[in-house]
A and B are shown apart, each in its own frame.
Chain A
Amino acid sequence: MIGLWLLACGASGVDSAGPPVDSVPAQAEPLPPLHEPLDAPRLLRRLSLDLRGILPSVDELDRVQDDPASLAVLRDAYLEDPRFEERLATLLSERWHTLIDEFEVEYFDYDLDSELEYAFERAVGQEPLRLMARVAASDRPWSEIVTADWTVADTLLEGIWPLDRDPGEGWQVARYTDGRPAAGVLATNGLWWRYVTNTGNQNRSRAAAMTRLLLCEDYLARPVSFEGSVSLVDEDGAADAIRNEPSCQACHASLEPLAASMFGFWWLAQYSALEMTTYHAEREPLGPEILGVEPEWFGTPIAGLADMGSEIARDPRFYACTAESMAGLLWRRPVALSDFERIERFRRDFLDSDAQLKALIRAITDDDEYRAGVADPAEPDAHTTRMITATQLDSLVEELTGFRWTFGGYDLLLNDTSGYRVLAGGVDGYAVYRPQQIPGLTWTLVVRRVAEAAAAHVVAQELMGGERHLLCCADMSLGPEDAAFEEELRHLHWRLFARVPAEDRLDRDAALWRAVNDEFGAGFAWQALLTGLFRDPALWVY
Chain B
Amino acid sequence: MTRRQLLGLMGAGLVVPRRALAAGTERRFLFVYNRGGWDTTRVFLNKLDDDAYDTESDATVRSQGISWVDHAERPAVTEFMETYGDRASFLHGYEVRSVTHERCRLLSLTGSSESGVDDWGAVLAAHATTSPLLPHVVISGPAFTTRYTDRVVRVGSDGQLGTLLDGTALLSSDIAVVPPMDAVNAHVEDYVLALAQEYERSAADASALSMHGGVAATLRDLGTLQDRGGLQITRQTAGCMRDLAADCSAAFDLFSQGLARCAMVEFQGWCGESWDTHQANERQSLHFQTLFEGLVPAMAELDSRYGVTGAPLADEVVVVVFSEMGRHPRLNTWDGKDHWTYTSAMLLGAGVRGGVQVGDQGSDGLGVAIDLATGEPSASGTTLLPGHLGATLLALGDVDGAEYLPQGEQPITALMV
Contacts and interface: CB of A to CB of B under 8 A. Distances in A.
B214 A416 contact: no
A233 B53 CA distance: 8
Contacts of A8: none
A433 B184 CA distance: 38
A515 B95 CA distance: 62
B365 interface: yes
A277 interface: no
A422 B161 CA distance: 11
Contacts of B172: 407-408, 412, 418
Interface in B326-381: 328-330, 332, 338, 341-342, 363-366
Contact of B179 (A220, A456, A512): A456
B62 interface: no
A286 B115 CA distance: 35
Contacts of A374: 204-205, 208
Given A374-B204, A460-B178, A532-B191, A443 B366 contact: no
Contact of B205 (A382, A407, A433, A531): A382
Contacts, number: 223
A334 B152 contact: no
Given A385-B207, A444-B219, A528 B188 contact: yes
B243 interface: no
A198 interface: yes
B207 to A, nearest CB: 4
A375 B180 contact: no
Contacts of B299: none
Contacts of A527: 180, 184
B158 A380 contact: no
Contacts of A233: 52, 328-330, 363-365
Contacts of B142: 431
B58 interface: no
A225 interface: yes
Interface string A524-537: 10011001100111
Contacts of B218: 439-441, 443-445
How many chain B residues sit at the interface, stated as a range, is 35 or more
* Most chain A beta-carbon neighbours within 10 Å: one of B95, B113, B154, B219: B154
Contacts of B156: 416, 420, 422-423
B286 interface: no
B53 to A, nearest CB: 8
Interface in B357-411: 363-366, 383
B170 A537 contact: no
A221 B113 contact: yes
B215 interface: yes
Contacts of A422: 154, 156
B149 A436 contact: yes
* Most chain A beta-carbon neighbours within 10 Å: one of B188, B218, B342: B188
Contacts of B99: 224
Nearest to A524: B184
Interface string A508-525: 100010011001100010
A456 B178 contact: yes
B51 to A, nearest CB: 10
A374 B205 CA distance: 6
A250 to B, nearest CB: 13
A98 B218 CA distance: 30
Contacts of B222: 441, 444-445, 448
A537 B215 contact: yes
Contacts of A444: 215, 218-219, 222
A108 B146 CA distance: 38
B187 A220 contact: no
A512 B191 contact: yes
B192 A536 contact: yes
A289 B383 CA distance: 37
Interface stretch (A152-160, A176-184, A398-406): A398-406
Contacts of B175: 403-406, 453, 457
Nearest to A434: B115
A375 B174 CA distance: 43
A312 B34 CA distance: 38
A381 interface: yes
B156 to A, nearest CB: 6
B207 A375 contact: yes
A536 B116 CA distance: 29
Contacts of A412: 172-173
Given A205-B100, A224-B99, A407 B174 contact: yes
A110 interface: no
A205 B101 CA distance: 11
A437 B191 CA distance: 24
B341 A226 contact: yes
A442 B364 contact: no
Contacts of A516: 184, 187
Nearest to A536: B195
A503 B174 CA distance: 39
A200 B278 contact: yes
Contact of A442 (B100, B161, B173): B161
Contacts of B48: none
Contacts of A456: 177-180
B56 interface: no
A406 B364 CA distance: 54
A416 B188 contact: no
Interface string B133-174: 110000001110010011111101110110011010110111
A423 B206 contact: no
Nearest to B147: A438
Given A233-B364, A536-B192, A431 B141 contact: yes
Interface string A217-250: 0001111111100011101001000000000000
Given A434-B115, A528-B188, A385 B208 contact: yes
Contacts of B160: 418-420, 423
Given A226-B366, A457-B175, 13 more contacts: A233-B52, A382-B207, A383-B207, A405-B173, A408-B172, A440-B151, A440-B214, A442-B154, A444-B215, A453-B177, A519-B183, A536-B192, A537-B212
Interface of B: 52, 95, 97-100, 102-103, 113-116, 133-134, 141-143, 146, 149-154, 156-158, 160-161, 164-165, 167, 169-170, 172-175, 177-181, 183-185, 187-188, 191-192, 194-196, 199, 204-208, 210-212, 214-215, 218-219, 221-222, 225, 278, 328-330, 332, 338, 341-342, 363-366, 383
21 contacts: A224-B99, A226-B365, A232-B364, A374-B208, A381-B206, A385-B210, A404-B175, A417-B158, A418-B158, A419-B160, A423-B156, A423-B161, A431-B143, A437-B146, A439-B215, A440-B214, A445-B164, A508-B194, A519-B183, A532-B195, A536-B195
3 shortest interchain CB distances as A-B pairs: A375-B205, A223-B97, A439-B214
